[in-house]
Chain A
Amino acid sequence: DSGVTQTPKHLITATGQRVTLRCSPRSGDLSVYWYQQSLDQGLQFLIQYYNGEERAKGNILERFSAQQFPDLHSELNLSSLELGDSALYFCASSVAVNTGELFFGEGSRLTVL
């Protein structure tokens, strides 16, 4: 499957811990986006990378960070986790930066206990 892949699919951890979510974009896509989806907030844009460079930042907390590696995969690091960080985290990719056509992964469901 050459679509967007995300790991892990599910993750349960405790408050105060740190986790890393991983995303591999579609073959040929240079841009990677991270979104957080919680029940009450809908899909919230976190951050975007293009060919290894940060291009746009949304509502991303300081406790969260991300990067895109030379092979174009991306990681989202969440630290000092709080109960409210429990959500579905989506990665998406696109060929260019100036497009609204994104291809989404299946998401990583994070539960903080």
Chain B
Amino acid sequence: AQRVTQPEKLLSVFKGAPVELKCNYSYSGSPELFWYVQYSRQRLQLLLRHISRESIKGFTADLNKGETSFHLKKPFAQEEDSAMYYCALSARVYSGAGSYQLTFGKGTKLSVIP
């Protein structure tokens, strides 16, 4: 079964400092990974996905299959980056008619100190 691990429950950084939110996964197949974010009083929303290799709001994430990691990085943290971040893995499931299941890590709360 697939698993997503985010080792840090809370990460505090100063404004302007680099940020790295860690995510490790275990999955026997070819993984598809995502980062979701939940800002205060807002709903959970997709931040980025590894397939598109994009940078959103200055964040990037590289899939490292050798280390089974998908860490989220930003060179200079901003106060508005303070939020809850969830790493997620999409994996094929064969229960029922079959589909893809998105498995989430427990999340890391990022706090950017002014």
Chain A interface (Cβ < 8 Å from any Cβ of B): 3-4, 33, 35, 41-43, 45, 48, 50, 53-58, 90, 92, 97-107
Contact = CB atoms under 8 A, between A and B. Distances in A.
Given A100-B32, A102-B102, A54 B97 contact: yes
B104 A42 contact: yes
Interface stretch (B12-20, B22-30, B64-72, B85-93): B85-93
B44 interface: yes
Interface of B: 32-34, 43-46, 49, 86, 88-90, 93, 95-107
Q: Is the interface of A mostly helix, strand, loop or mixed?
A: strand
Contact of A106 (B43, B95, B97): B43
A81 to B, nearest CB: 24
Contacts of B100: 56, 97-100
Nearest to A50: B99
B36 to A, nearest CB: 8
Given A43-B104, A45-B103, A56-B101, A104 B44 contact: yes
Contact of A101 (B46, B103, B106): B46
Contacts of B103: 45
A97 B106 CA distance: 23
A48 B99 contact: yes
B44 A97 contact: no
A57 B102 contact: no
Given A57-B95, A57-B96, A45 B46 contact: no
Contacts of B88: 100
Contacts of B98: 55-56
A78 B60 CA distance: 39
